[in-house]
Amino acid sequence: MTIKEIIIRYSKELEEISPTPRLDVETLLQKVLEVDRLYILLNLEKSLSEDEEKLFSKLINERLNNRPIAYIVGNREFMGLDFYVQEGVLIPRPDTEVLVEEIIELGKNKGPINILDIGTGSGAITVSLAKYLDNAKITSVDISDIALEIGKKNAESNNVKDRITFIKSDLFTNIDDNMRFDIIVSNPPYIKREVIETLDKQVKDFEPYNALEGGIDGLDFYRAITIQSKKYLNNDGILAYEVGHDQSEEVSKLMESDGYTNIYTRKDLQQIDRVVIGSVL
């Protein structure tokens, strides 16, 4: 089959499970042929070899069985950087870029700053902040060994490992009591427990449950982090969260009740309040 024939046939088959069927097919072809997307677009009449067709057939069947494209090809772009991903870590989302961009804006043009990222995951937040804030030192914590391993891998591939310290920790458990930070940032698990089973199969069947579920009301981690964070923040320190689509008001109230001030939100590309930020005196 030619590249064009493959794109036409399998884009149609993917329509029911993917919002970007043609892009998915092209991405798998890039993986099989080890080329960039421009090559695919300029060589639509090229035929795949027998071995290439076998490999493509294997990958497209995985996709048709709802396995996320990022896990199949092993990477995801975030903040203009390339991140290795695999089962065991949450796939970076574009919505999270709003949080990272806001932290960059708050941290630039300042002296040396210390940042704590709670929930390493793939390292998307940690590595992006280290990459775009030359004045920052990042401490990144996660309870998952897989997340820490992948975070370190992505820090190395993006040439920022010298400015990141990775620590295995359940929230603040293994953070030294004497450590202080200018910014604490987190994209914690925030999906309500009862909602998990209603999620798309690509999420609930493949992405790590512990990175999704935030308790009965989805706010467990916000409560724990907000209460403990003041102990670790410098004067005028900042606490910054990504939140669920309907959680900004509740998280803002949590922060306010724990003494945070100057609380504000930032919207994502869908104009949903996706980021909540506050300061501690």
Domains of the chain, residue spans: 3-65, 89-280
Predicted confidence at residue 109, as pLDDT, reads: 86
* Residue that the structure tokens 């919505």 belong to: 95
Q: For residue 281, is pLDDT > 90?
A: no
208 is in an annotated binding site: no
Mean pLDDT across the chain: 96
Cβ 45 vs Cβ 2: under 8 Å: yes
Of the CA atoms within 13 Å of residue 272, those in its CB half-sphere come to 11
Q: What percent of the chain has pLDDT above 70?
A: 100
Q: From CA 281, how far away is CA 238, in angstroms rounded?
A: 9
Annotation: CATH topology of 3-65: Helicase, Ruva Protein; domain 3 (1.10.8)
Distance from C-alpha of 132 to C-alpha of 101, rounded to nearest angstrom: 9
Q: Kindly report the pTM of this predicted structure.
A: 0.93
**pLDDT tens track for 95-109:** 999 999 999 999 998
Query: Mean pLDDT across the stretch 239-253?
Result: 97
260 is in an annotated binding site: no
Q: Classify domain 89-280 by CATH architecture.
A: 3-Layer(aba) Sandwich (3.40)
Question: Does residue 173 surpass a pLDDT of 90?
Answer: yes
pLDDT at 144: 96
pLDDT tens-digit series, residues 13-56: 999 999 999 999 999 999 999 999 999 999 999 999 999 999 99
At 164 the pLDDT is 98
Which token pair is 111? 């002296």
List pLDDT tens digits, range 190-238: 999 999 999 999 999 999 999 999 999 999 999 999 999 999 999 999 9
Is 157 annotated to bind a ligand? Reply is no
Asked if residue 218 belongs to a known ligand binding site, the reply is no
Confidence of residue 175 (pLDDT cuts 50, 70, 90): very high
Q: Is the pLDDT of residue 139 over 90?
A: yes
The pLDDT assigned to 99 comes to 98
pLDDT score at 172: 97
**DSSP strands (E only) in 204-255:** 233-242
- Chain-centre distance for alpha carbon 263: 23
The DSSP code for 264 is E
Annotation-wise, does 200 bind a ligand? Answer: no
Note the pLDDT of residue 71. 97
HSE of 227, CA atoms in CB hemisphere, 13 A: 7
Q: Is 151 annotated as a binding residue?
A: no
Contact 25, 6 (CB under 8 A): yes
Cα dist. 90→18, 76, 274 in Å?
A: 18, 11, 17
Is 123 annotated to bind ligand? yes
Average pLDDT, stretch 252-260? 96
Q: Consult the annotation and say whether 88 binds a ligand.
A: no
Alpha-carbon span 187 to 221, nearest angstrom: 10
